[in-house]
Amino acid sequence: MTTTPVISLRHVSKSFGATQALDNVSLEVSAGQMVALLGLSGSGKSTLLRTINGLHRPTSGEIRVLGTDVAAARRSELRMLRRQVGFVFQQFELVGRLTALENVLSGALGRVRGPRLGTMSYPLALRKEALARLERVGLADRAFQRAGTLSGGQQQRVAIARAMMQQPQILLADEPVASLDPETSDQVMDLMFSICQEQNITVVVCLHQVDLAMKWAERIIGLREGKLVLDVESAAVDKTQVMDTYRRVLDEASEPDPATGGEAPRDAEPVSTYSSARQAI
């Protein structure tokens, strides 16, 4: 694995009106690294993903992704960046009336000129590649089935194959298994991480399941109220501790903090050890 940072944030903040979605976040992600983002609902995980692929510009701070200065880039540069950054969504976002194969092929739209309608409008090489990518996710036999008739787990596997058709250098996934049962979730995570590892693709995935984060990601980043409050290697902490840490986040969210009279502390600093994380969260 190389250690080149492909994602670099320095003091990045993002506000939506009065809402501070990201608050002074600094971090670097190396090429090929597998990172999980954890945090309460509303802590800024999706905003961070959308800032990384240039869908949101930071309000302040610097962010470079694959060499592109996201804050200053022209729209055409952001479009180029997004071609190199695959995105997998919680609700799959497939076109239900199109076949699995057509959905996968649509991932190659940035690689061909002009609009395409139907499988045969794509060059043969891309059709073969799309089928191979469906095969890799175990769905070659469903190539001509309408995506809307596939199960949730199958649809997410098609979505992963579609993202791979972009030949991305980075894959961002926003709660990719939130609507799947535990067994299917594990299979989908296994596929997503295995494929990315084979191709040295950097992964940043938002999750609510701590056990999956511990199992698949090598690094865990925790956000609270837009601040980076945890940044640890998953091998360096044990699962129960991280789960406990996450529960504490949830507990504190529903209980007034005695130290602050109900106000969550605003001055949490990034931490790199579990013990300091426990204090910060």
Ligand X SMILES: Nc1ncnc2c1ncn2[C@@H]1O[C@H](COP(=O)(O)OP(=O)(O)OP(=O)(O)O)[C@@H](O)[C@H]1O
Per CB under 6 A, residues contacting ligand X are 16, 19, 21, 39, 41-47
C-alpha 30, offset from chain centre: 15
Tokens at 84, concatenated:
């190199």
Q: Find where tokens 């903090």 sit.
A: 257
Minimum CB separation of residue 43 from ligand X in Å reads: 4
Minimum CB separation of residue 21 from ligand X in Å reads: 3
Minimum CB separation of residue 12 from ligand X in Å reads: 13
- E strand intervals along the chain: 5-16, 19-30, 34-38, 60-65, 68-69, 85-88, 170-174, 202-206, 219-224, 227-233
Q: Please answer whether residues 168 and 159 qualify as being in contact, where contact means their C-beta atoms are separated by less than 8 angstroms.
A: no
In 3D space, the residue among 222, 229, 232 whose CA is nearest the CA of residue 267 turns out to be 229
Which one, 13 or 30, has the nearer CB to ligand X?
Answer: 13
Which one, 30 or 91, has the nearer CB to ligand X?
Answer: 91
Phi, psi of 239 (to 5 degrees): -55, -45
Which one, 42 or 110, has the nearer CB to ligand X?
Answer: 42
Beta sheet of 19-30, edge-to-edge order: 19-30, 5-16, 60-65, 68-69
Minimum CB separation of residue 135 from ligand X in Å reads: 32
Minimum CB separation of residue 174 from ligand X in Å reads: 7
Minimum CB separation of residue 19 from ligand X in Å reads: 5
Which one, 61 or 110, has the nearer CB to ligand X?
Answer: 61
Looking at the chain, the number of H-run helices and the number of E-run strands are 9, 10
Which one, 111 or 252, has the nearer CB to ligand X?
Answer: 252
Minimum CB separation of residue 42 from ligand X in Å reads: 4
Which one, 46 or 53, has the nearer CB to ligand X?
Answer: 46
Which one, 147 or 206, has the nearer CB to ligand X?
Answer: 206
Using a 10 angstrom Cβ sphere, with 0-12 exposed, 13-18 middle and 19 or more buried, the burial of residue 240 is exposed
CA 87, CA 66: separation in Å to the nearest integer?
15
